[in-house]
Amino acid sequence: MNTYGWAARDSSGILSPFHFERRANDDNDITIKILFCGICHSDLHFAKNEAGMTSYPFVPGHEIVGEVTKVGHNVTKFKIGDKAGVGCMVGSCGSCENCKQDLEVYCPEMIWTLKTFGGYSENIVIDEHFAVLIPNSLPLHGAAPLLCAGITVYSPMMYYGLCKPGQHLGVVGLGGLGHVAVKFAKALGMKVTVISTSPSKKNEAVERLGVDSFLVSHDQEQLQGAMGTMDGIIDTVSGPHSILPLINLLKTNGKLVAVGVPTEAPEIPYIPLIMGRKLIGGSAAGGMKETQEMVDFAAKHNIIADIEVIPMDYVNTAMERLAKGDVKYRFVIDVANTLNSSF
């Protein structure tokens, strides 16, 4: 199927219109007409080949929502007209230990959406297993970022047990991932502290997102005052930073979970971990079963991302602004209404 989207051609990361082929809709597949697609920081890392893993031309986009326009003979989860979402992965082996435990994202043969042609495009053909049903009550543009940002913070909160009412959660980096983590944590009845490099985000974080406290990460006095108070921390930071101050914020037995992929890996200070029986863990997105559970949880609690909707031809400016942290808190491309006119 001939389709079109926007692609980066080299590590400048600059995107421009691009025609390519999608596979035909097979028996287990659905075709989704893409309506909205979020811009995750991973799209930016990949467009600029910051991890050295990008193949060009690269069509970003892995926070995809749209309408099902075709269903294969074996499809059971979807019918034409349903709203569907696609996130970080489009395939896995289906038979390894991870796949059998609904942890497809850890399958050695898992296929990242970013390694195929992604959602800054007109449509996508995907095995129904790798799509989730978006409940009708969720506005689609605000739901798009749940497909990556949402599951990437929800999954570790559940797995590491950082989801209980009354627990104190630190969220480092108030960006796309971070602000959704705040919303989930507040819905779960947790106390939330944001640790941020941007004092300008404080008022809104407290007044609109309802965070209980806001620490500016370069203010030693503020950090000192919060030492040893947190049960867990979700670190969503995309750039170089030190984790020692974060470890110091944890209580004994506290857990620091890395989900951000900083351009330089931080050093791990062993002694402060040892002296507080603390853990550092990591987490990648989440399996498909849990992604559906997360979307349903979001629908139940009316959680969507705070977004700035943009036309397709604004994408390069949006990427520049994202690199500077100038977005509250997620850009979402209005694909259906603006992709055509961008050609």
Query: For binding to ligand NAP (CB under 6 A), which residues are involved?
Result: 40-42, 45, 148-149, 152, 173-178, 196-198, 201, 236-241, 259-261, 283-285, 322, 325
Q: At its nearest, how many Å lie between ligand NAP and the CB of residue 155?
A: 9
Site for Zn ion in 89-148 (CB under 5 A): 148
Tell me the DSSP string of 22-86: PPP--TTEEEEEEEEEEE-HHHHHHHTTTTS---SSB-----EEEEEEEE-TT--S--TT-EEEE
CB of 50: closest distance to Zn ion in angstroms?
Answer: 14
Residue nearer to Zn ion on the CB measure, 60 or 232:
60
Nearest residue to 65 via CA among 314, 298, 308, 332: 332
Q: Which does 11 bind (CB under 5 to 8 A by kind): ligand NAP, Zn ion, none?
A: none
* Six-digit token string for 317: 């400016």
Pick the closer one to ligand NAP by CB: 41 or 191. Answer: 41
Q: Do residues 183 and 172 lie in contact, with contact meaning Cβ atoms separated by under 8 Å? A: no
Q: Is 248 in the site for Zn ion (CB under 5 A)?
A: no
User: What crossing angle do the helices spanning 176-187 and 149-159 adopt, rounded to 10°?
Assistant: 50
Residue nearest to ligand NAP as judged by C-beta position: 175
92 binds, options ligand NAP, Zn ion, none, Cβ within 5 to 8 A by partner type: none
Binders of Zn ion among 30-69, rule CB under 5 A? 40, 42
Measured distance CA(88)–CA(65) in Å, rounded: 12
- Residue 241 beta carbon to ligand NAP: minimum distance, rounded to whole angstroms: 4
* Cα 321 from chain centroid (whole Å): 18
Minimum CB distance to ligand NAP, residue 323 (Å): 8
CA angle in degrees (0–180, nearest 5) for 249-255-257: 100
How does DSSP classify residue 121? B
Residue 44 or residue 131: which is nearer to ligand NAP going by CB? 44
Which residues make up the interface to Zn ion (CB under 5 A)? 40, 42, 148
